[in-house]
Copies of this chain bind each other. A is one copy, B any other.
Amino acid sequence: MSPKPMVRPGGRSARVQESVHAAVRELQAELGREALTVPLVAARAGVTPSTVYRRWGDLQELLSDVAVEHLRPEAPPVDLGSLRADLEAWAEQFLDEMASPPGRAYIRDALLGDPDGSNAGQCSAYAAEQIDVVVARAAERGESAPDVERVIDRVVAPMMYRILFRPGELDAAYARALVEHALSLSKP
Contacts and interface: CB of A to CB of B under 8 A. Distances in A.
Determine the main DSSP class of A at the interface with B: helix
How many of these chains are in the complex?
2
Interface in A151-175: 152-154, 156-158, 160-162, 164-167
A111 interface: yes
Contacts of A165: 120-121, 123-124, 160
A149 to B, nearest CB: 9
B160 A178 contact: no
A14 interface: no
Interface of A: 108, 111-112, 117, 120-121, 123-124, 152-154, 156-158, 160-162, 164-167, 178, 181, 185
